[in-house]
Amino acid sequence: MRKKIVAGNWKMNTTVAEGVALAKAVAAKSAEVPANVGLIVAPPFTHLVSVAEALKGSKVELSAQNCADKAKGAYTGEVAADMLVSAGCQWTILGHSERRQYYGETDAKLVDKVRLALDNGLGVILCVGEMLEERKAGRHFAVVTEQTENVLFHFSAEDMAKIVIAYEPVWAIGTGETATAEQAEEIHACIRKVLEGKFGKEVADNTTILYGGSCKPSNAKELFAQPDIDGGLIGGASLKADDFIEIGKSF
Ligand code: 13P
């Protein structure tokens, strides 16, 4: 059966000291979260080594928020997948809408990034999601299907065992406006169908699909009760250890 996961994307928040304190607080309470629910935190690059240390001995795994589309060399300001592994990461988020919107991340670049992450042994949390105008135009299924196909159809069924998908409707990120459980469920089911068409039912059934976008303790239970929603990618609410842990207990 596919794994349930709650992952915290800290985005560009916290100093190193604040991040270590947050990681320690999450680690200390992580045993309250059921054993079958995975917990992941994704701090900024600068925090990774110290946060890895703070998480030691707990079930909480470490993710980066991005990685380079090149293996190494003269790419000033970039961080490569093997560097993330050497810093203690098990995961990287890729294709977050903020990277697509503000930093020109394309599906083509994402194929290279996912490949490098997998080749280096990282698990990938690949984000997809439509903008408000796309939903208003009734294009949300098409957009999410395209994003999923454009990246994941370059990979194999075996690769899919290391890939988690996060559906994050852009209009629900940081706005306080969550997708309803029905809106989220129908997109998750659509993504699973797309995976089934390419990789078969077993891979589709085994792929974890997270919801992200103003997910918090008050709405997590209803979202996670949906048959195709396997957890959450949490922004704002992951910056408070108690809220993050509460969400982890919402299955
Ligand atoms: P919020 O939970 O702050 O809406 O952010 C969601 C998100 O973008 C997680 O990656």
Cα dihedral sign for 147, 153, 159, 160? positive
Check whether 178 has a pLDDT greater than 90.
no
109: part of which helix (H) or strand (E)?
helix 107-119
Q: Which tokens hold the place of 167?
A: 């559906």
Ligand 1 contacts (CB < 6 A) are 9, 96, 168, 173-174, 212-215, 233-237
Check whether 1 has a pLDDT greater than 90.
no
Nearest-CA residue for ligand 1 atom 1 is: 235
- Specify whether 168 is catalytic: yes
- Tell me the DSSP string of 221-234: HHHHTSTT--EEEE
Averaged pLDDT, 197-219: 98
Confidence of residue 177 (pLDDT cuts 50, 70, 90): confident
CA separation (Å) from 179 to 40, 123, 162, 172, 223?
22, 26, 26, 6, 9
Per the confidence metrics, is the pTM higher than 0.95? yes
Q: For residues 82 and 71, what is the distance between their CA atoms, to the nearest angstrom?
A: 8
249: part of which helix (H) or strand (E)?
none
pLDDT score, position 9: 98
Nearest-CA residue for ligand 1 atom 9 is: 235
Q: Which tokens hold the place of 7?
A: 């992952």
- E-strand ranges in 78-208 read 91-94, 123-128, 163-167
* Ramachandran region, residue 57 (left: φ > 0; alpha: ψ -120 to 50; beta: rest): left
CB atoms within 10 A of CB 109: 18
Q: For residues 38 and 155, what is the distance between their CA atoms, to the nearest angstrom?
A: 24
pLDDT score, position 129: 98
Which one of the listed residues 61, 98, 105, 168 is annotated catalytic?
A: 168
CA 5 / ligand 1 centre spacing (Å): 15
pLDDT score, position 176: 87
Confidence of residue 16 (pLDDT cuts 50, 70, 90): very high
Give the residue with greater pLDDT, 1 vs 103: 103
Q: For residues 65 and 41, what is the distance between their CA atoms, to the nearest angstrom?
A: 10
Closest CA to 224 of 185, 169, 174: 185
| Token pair 């009760």 in the structure block, residue | 225
Pairing label, strands 231-234, 4-9? parallel
Exposure string (b/e) for 203-212, b if CB count within 10 Å is 16 or more? bbeebbbbbb
CA 74 / ligand 1 centre spacing (Å): 32
- Specify whether 140 is catalytic: no
Give the chain's mean pLDDT: 98
| Token pair 């408000």 in the structure block, residue | 132
